Chains A and B, each alone.
Chain A
Amino acid sequence: MAMWRSAVFVAAAFGVGCTADIQSPPAGMGASGNATPGSGAGTNTGSGAGSSVGGGATSASGGNGSGSGGTSSPGSGGSSGGTTPGAGGSSSGGTGMLNPNCTPQIEATSQIPRLLNAQYDRTIRDLLGVTNLTAANGVVPSTLLATDLTSGMTDLAWANYKDVADKIATQVFADPKLTANFIKCTPAAGDTTCLHQTIIDFGRLAFRRPLTTDEVARFDKVIAAGATITPTGAPMEVAQALLYMFLISPTFIQRAETTAVSDGAGHFTLSSAEIAQRLSYMLWGTTPDAALNQAADQNMLQTPQQIAAQAARMLQDPKARDMVSAFHQHYLLMDSESHWATANRDPATFPNWNPAVVGPIDDETLKFFDAITFTAGSTFKDFLTSPIAFVNKDTAPLYGLDGSKYGADLTEVSLDATQRPGFLTRLGFLMNFASLTRTNPIYRGAFISKQILGIDIPAPPAGATQTALPDSPDLDTNRKQVDAQTSGDSCKSCHHGYINPPGFAMEAFDAMGAWRTTESNGVPLDTTADITVVDGQPTVHVNGPADLMAAIASSPGALQQYVKQWVGYAYQRPGDAADQCDVAQLSAKMAGGNYAILNLIADLTQTQSFRLREVSP
């Protein structure tokens, strides 16, 4: 879950394209007592309490290019993409759809981002074979580092980089197998050749580029000082000091991009070593491997074709699967404050409720995305239509399968494609997006409309979420109750227009994820609905989940949303205005059909923005 969990990513999970979060606690009654405007008690003196009922959307704008509404803040690199002149993000007719007829932009980013803590851990693992610190309760190294922060180095953060470096170096030199990851030769007393060569060889890996002459000289000075900075001056002690020095070097801790070669059009071309670094941290979250380093050393990472060849290779590596899984956690909001992993049912209502399914149903969701992504040729459509599923002894019965045929591990099965097409008909979504005693069409519908279709729905107005679920004899289905609950003036436009319809289509599944045709009281279900697939365009009529999934699968809005999430995640700048043209053009490519997910990921390395650096302002 923690892969690439950075400030940027985690934060982004909340709101790219859907600034109004469906998870966070809605407006209190009374942030200043405005549940009952004017009621006196609880009203902030002079605060204008209650004045914003119905107007809660104002500050929550700025999603995914919502028509002409969301202007982007210059230099903010924020989520309000879509209308930056020249960025190609201008949308047409208030549909939220980006126009691919645009000129790609390049965002100016830091030249010296520090390794995120998760990247640090994997880098140490891949350079030195150290995954857990024996001197610190066996924790992963970054447990001792300061929490990821983007501002300048602090005394605390620096003290801890040094501490962790010391612990790692000690551990590496306590184990000959690990030592060999750092030093390949055996230094004799008084002979500096081996240590000097280690500076050059390990330095190439640690700095992710060859060391300059000055840098080699800098580390040679450490060798020269060896006798004074180590207990006995023995060569291996000096070697350990060298490793410590590498690990506290700013060039190791920061992923620097310093090449200043003009591309002739106002940008800088990244060096091959810098491209290798971008490739490996984007696709693997770690340091470049030998093949990437070799390509960099041969300056073979300059053309889009060269980069594409490496990307294709890298996507076959298991490290890419970790990254893709982390992305899908981000796409599904699993890495943030969301409904995932919170499935909980009232055993009185659902006697077959079993808490043991909570973990496996989320795992199934990720395995589903992994399987689709890495099956050659699979496209976005397959996420919504594939009948494959992964079950264990506890979850199988919920799909109507015989649990005794399965063990504790998840096993791939194929379900009835007419009832169970795609991930939104799997237990993970169906059970997590439900309430204790009943289905919750609002949770399901809001997730589908906002996070999957990418429709920019504002936050609910203050107090709206306190509207009770009405209960009367004529409201004999959950659908009717929810429909009535959301019929108020301040609720209706969003709920009846966007949120409720997909939720109602999904009423074919109960709160335990089981297929059904009637309510628990025996009243037949109505799963027909008119779905707003793209804002501002005619609705699509569906008869139930399978129709809905087909509509989503062919929705340009859903494609664009998926691409937008990928671009923001991969480039570590969710919703960045300058990236919206890339989003538009990749989305157009994807809409062309037969465009595999793996092609999309590889094409993230083919943009100008990936290859070039904007000159610093």
Chain B
Amino acid sequence: MTPTKRPPMQRRIFLKGVAGACLAAPFLSSVHEQWAKAQSVPATPPKRLVIFYTHNGTLTTRWFPSKEDGALAASDLTGTYLEPLSPYVNKLLLPRGFRSMNSYAVGQSIDPHDQACGSKLTCAYISTESNRYATAESLDHTIAKQINPGDKTPLVLSVGAPSTLIKEVISFSAPNTAFPSNVNPSSVYKLLTGVVMQGGSTGGSTGGTSMTPADYHVARGKSAIDLVTDDLQTYKRLNMSKADQDRIDAWLSLLRDTETGMTDPAMQAVCNAATQATLGITDAAVTAASPTGSITAGNVLGPKGTADGDANLATSFTKGGDMMMNLMALAMTCDVNRTFVFLYPGYVIYKWDGLMMTKEHHGLSHRTGDFTVGGNCYAGVIDMIAQIDTWLAGKFTRLVQTFDSMPEGDGTLLDNTATMWLPELSDGAAHNLNNLPILIAGSCGGYLKTGAAVNVEGKTIGKGNSESSCQNGGTIGNTGSSGGNQPINKLYVTLMNAVGCKAADGGPVTTFGVFDGNKDTDGIKNPGEVMALKAS
């Protein structure tokens, strides 16, 4: 099965003719109605996907618990990077044995990081053009088109500097079309302040029926919609390319969606200033978490920072990232979005929270301290990698904590969501994509098994060889893993079904991506979800 390659807004046409992949439920109501529904508290809490993405692999030997299959207890996490997640062990699913697509020199031979990022959520090749973008739409967009309120695109966020480079982009709204992350908490906050109830009225420049009629902001907002709509309509009448027309349509639909405000009292009861305060989202906190200027960008060869840029980078990785988590929780509570991607880019020097690195993360992951691969071990490198890995595990733990602290329905936000830690690579020096350390928190509304490790390969995989060298200097050996080669497509299919995606025929989704073997020409040979990952 080949992937569904299509521009946005084509869905209804597409639905009628193609079968097989993940498609929207047939005959969606209008965008406006969708949004109106979204503003109401659904009868059952919405299901969501959150992808927490980290770069440069990990010391797999310290990441994986020994237990590969069966029920997980807190004690199984002891001594691993996952130990801080012990309080949540009953809500964790540890799928073992997946490989993401396009291993270097097996699929393409362009660049292992570019291939890992571009193919990660697309299961497709990357372009040989200079931008090296993915040649297919990514999972987050495929899912968002089906489950997001109001046809919204996924909320793709990151810490660090804004970037459109393939090494920092994993989301693609269409083939060869990067969907870069947003890095500024103030920007995300602004999106939400138009929605959240603020003591009797929604904030920002929009309002609903319960707003004060005299609020000139409301009137100005409506006046603006009229003006912008008229402007866009003049473009719509032109004979433009399909891509350009789609861009106009996307904008028009946003005007209908985002300007109407929230009217459902039940939603107002949860999506309000009190919830915002609970999450620590205040003007001052958001400002403190936002950059005051440029942010030092990462670089394969080492960041080129300024003092201000470095300070903003540190803020972004600490307060900024934490605020992004809070904002995601608020966006979930207000049902602004159901599909999230959150990245921690990999080409930065960790100099915050007591970490005192002198080399950037990518170089450390190579064990050499720079971009070269192989050769002599950089002194103390294992410990340095472990410090960064531990820090990142702490961030995933905080994300889980945040979601689990917010009640929803009979459980918490976490329970109704699949919150997945997905790595770029397994081991950073080996650049291998097999035996990926993946962790999913939350059952996604009861769909996924929890409190368990599930080995999907059917034989012992092991923890890899990340510490086979460089314990005491010496030269770098093979730090990869053997085994763990089940195609990640099947995990994605399982997640798509978990969040409620449907195939064209209304049945469960069975395939995702362009290929699930070694080459893109292989196509999908192993369709279906992974039953063993589902709650029984």
When the two chains form their complex, are residues A27 and B109 in contact, meaning their CB atoms are under 8 A apart? yes
Would you list which residues of chain A between 405 and 453 have a CB under 8 Å from chain B?
Answer: none
Q: Which residues of B contact A25 (CB under 8 A)?
A: 111-113, 300, 362, 366, 371-373, 431
When the two chains form their complex, are residues A49 and B485 in contact, meaning their CB atoms are under 8 A apart? no
A12 and B164 in contact, given A147-B182, A151-B179 (Cβ under 8 angstroms): no
A478 within 8 A of B: no
A241 and B220 in contact, given A24-B111, A32-B434, A341-B304 (Cβ under 8 angstroms): yes
When the two chains form their complex, are residues B190 and A468 in contact, meaning their CB atoms are under 8 A apart? no
Would you list which residues of chain A between 329 and 359 have a CB under 8 Å from chain B?
Answer: 336-342, 344
When the two chains form their complex, are residues B432 and A32 in contact, meaning their CB atoms are under 8 A apart? yes
Q: Which residues of B contact A30 (CB under 8 A)?
A: 430-432, 478-480
Instruction: Determine which of A40, A43, A153, A462 lies in contact with B250 in the assembled complex, contact meaning CB atoms within 8 Å.
Output: A153
B155 within 8 A of A: yes
When the two chains form their complex, are residues A44 and B103 in contact, meaning their CB atoms are under 8 A apart? yes
Contact with A along B92-115 (1 / 0, CB 8 A): 000000010001111011111110
Q: Which residues of A contact B375 (CB under 8 A)?
A: 466, 468
When the two chains form their complex, are residues B429 and A221 in contact, meaning their CB atoms are under 8 A apart? no
Would you list which residues of chain B between 142 and 183 have a CB under 8 Å from chain A?
Answer: 150, 152-153, 155, 162-167, 173-174, 176-183
CB distance from B188 to the nearest CB of A (A): 7
Instruction: Determine which of B8, B163, B241, B374 lies in contact with A151 in the assembled complex, contact meaning CB atoms within 8 Å.
Output: B8
A225 within 8 A of B: yes
B401 within 8 A of A: no
A312 within 8 A of B: no
Instruction: Determine which of A40, A151, A339 lies in contact with B482 in the assembled complex, contact meaning CB atoms within 8 Å.
Output: A40
A214 to B114, CA, bound (A): 48
Q: Which stretch, A104-112, A376-384, A502-510, touches the partner chain B?
A: A104-112
Instruction: Determine which of A58, A245, A574 lies in contact with B227 in the assembled complex, contact meaning CB atoms within 8 Å.
Output: A245
Would you list which residues of chain B between 240 and 273 have a CB under 8 Å from chain A?
Answer: 240-241, 243-244, 246-251, 254, 257-258
Q: Which residues of A contact B167 (CB under 8 A)?
A: 337
A103 within 8 A of B: no
A6 to B131, CA, bound (A): 11
Q: How many A-B residue pairs have CB under 8 A?
A: 376
**Residue of B99, B106, B249 contacting most chain A CB atoms (<10 Å):** B106
When the two chains form their complex, are residues B430 and A42 in contact, meaning their CB atoms are under 8 A apart? yes
Q: Which residues of B contact A474 (CB under 8 A)?
A: none
B410 within 8 A of A: no
When the two chains form their complex, are residues A47 and B104 in contact, meaning their CB atoms are under 8 A apart? no
B207 within 8 A of A: no
CB distance from B326 to the nearest CB of A (A): 16
Would you list which residues of chain A between 32 and 60 have a CB under 8 Å from chain B?
Answer: 32-36, 39-53, 55-60
When the two chains form their complex, are residues B179 and A111 in contact, meaning their CB atoms are under 8 A apart? no
When the two chains form their complex, are residues B291 and A61 in contact, meaning their CB atoms are under 8 A apart? no
A369 within 8 A of B: no
When the two chains form their complex, are residues A111 and B240 in contact, meaning their CB atoms are under 8 A apart? yes
Which applies to chain A's interface (DSSP): helix, strand, loop or mixed? loop
When the two chains form their complex, are residues B184 and A156 in contact, meaning their CB atoms are under 8 A apart? no
A313 within 8 A of B: no
B294 within 8 A of A: yes
Instruction: Determine which of B228, B240, B366 lies in contact with A112 in the assembled complex, contact meaning CB atoms within 8 Å.
Output: B240
Closest B residue to A228 using CB positions: B219
When the two chains form their complex, are residues A156 and B374 in contact, meaning their CB atoms are under 8 A apart? no
Q: Which residues of A contact B347 (CB under 8 A)?
A: 337
Contact with A along B211-249 (1 / 0, CB 8 A): 000001001100110111011101100111101101111
CB distance from A5 to the nearest CB of B (A): 9
When the two chains form their complex, are residues B187 and A218 in contact, meaning their CB atoms are under 8 A apart? no
Chain B: number of interface residues, binned into ranges: 35 or more
Q: Which residues of B contact A36 (CB under 8 A)?
A: 478
A342 and B128 in contact, given A147-B164, A258-B238, A459-B111 (Cβ under 8 angstroms): no
Closest A residue to B152 using CB positions: A155
A126 to B312, CA, bound (A): 27
Would you list which residues of chain B between 377 and 405 have a CB under 8 Å from chain A?
Answer: none
When the two chains form their complex, are residues A59 and B108 in contact, meaning their CB atoms are under 8 A apart? yes
When the two chains form their complex, are residues B293 and A139 in contact, meaning their CB atoms are under 8 A apart? yes
A28 and B129 in contact, given A7-B178, A256-B235 (Cβ under 8 angstroms): no
Instruction: Determine which of B166, B240, B429 lies in contact with A28 in the assembled complex, contact meaning CB atoms within 8 Å.
Output: B429
CB distance from B176 to the nearest CB of A (A): 8
A24 and B432 in contact, given A249-B227, A342-B301 (Cβ under 8 angstroms): no
A251 and B258 in contact, given A61-B128, A159-B191 (Cβ under 8 angstroms): no
When the two chains form their complex, are residues A29 and B105 in contact, meaning their CB atoms are under 8 A apart? no
When the two chains form their complex, are residues B300 and A23 in contact, meaning their CB atoms are under 8 A apart? yes
CB distance from B377 to the nearest CB of A (A): 13
Q: Which residues of A contact B230 (CB under 8 A)?
A: 214, 218
When the two chains form their complex, are residues A35 and B432 in contact, meaning their CB atoms are under 8 A apart? no
Q: Which residues of A contact B517 (CB under 8 A)?
A: 46
A134 within 8 A of B: no
B120 within 8 A of A: no
When the two chains form their complex, are residues A47 and B485 in contact, meaning their CB atoms are under 8 A apart? yes
CB distance from B169 to the nearest CB of A (A): 9
When the two chains form their complex, are residues A28 and B430 in contact, meaning their CB atoms are under 8 A apart? yes
When the two chains form their complex, are residues B431 and A23 in contact, meaning their CB atoms are under 8 A apart? no
Identify 17 new A-B residue pairs, CB closer than 8 A, beyond the known A30-B431, A147-B163. A10-B163, A23-B300, A25-B112, A28-B431, A32-B430, A41-B480, A42-B481, A44-B485, A110-B243, A111-B240, A156-B182, A156-B188, A215-B231, A229-B223, A251-B231, A336-B165, A344-B302
9 interchain residue pairs of minimum CB distance: A28-B431, A152-B250, A466-B374, A31-B104, A11-B131, A42-B480, A15-B130, A7-B164, A78-B129
- 29 pairs, CB–CB < 8 Å, chain A vs chain B: A10-B165, A24-B111, A24-B114, A25-B373, A27-B109, A31-B431, A32-B433, A33-B432, A33-B478, A35-B374, A42-B465, A44-B485, A45-B482, A108-B241, A110-B247, A139-B291, A143-B184, A143-B291, A145-B187, A159-B190, A159-B191, A214-B234, A221-B223, A222-B223, A229-B220, A250-B248, A339-B301, A342-B302, A459-B109
Residues of A near any B CB (own CB < 8 A): 2, 6-8, 10-16, 19, 21, 23-36, 39-53, 55-62, 76, 78-80, 108, 110-112, 136-140, 143-156, 158-160, 162-163, 166, 214-215, 218-219, 221-222, 225, 228-231, 241, 244-245, 248-251, 256, 258, 260, 336-342, 344, 459, 461-463, 465-466, 468, 574-575, 616-617
Residues of B near any A CB (own CB < 8 A): 8, 99, 103-106, 108-114, 127-133, 150, 152-153, 155, 162-167, 173-174, 176-184, 186-188, 190-191, 194, 205, 216, 219-220, 223-224, 226-228, 230-232, 234-235, 238-241, 243-244, 246-251, 254, 257-258, 287, 290-294, 299-302, 304, 336, 347, 362, 366, 371-375, 429-434, 465, 476, 478-483, 485, 517-518
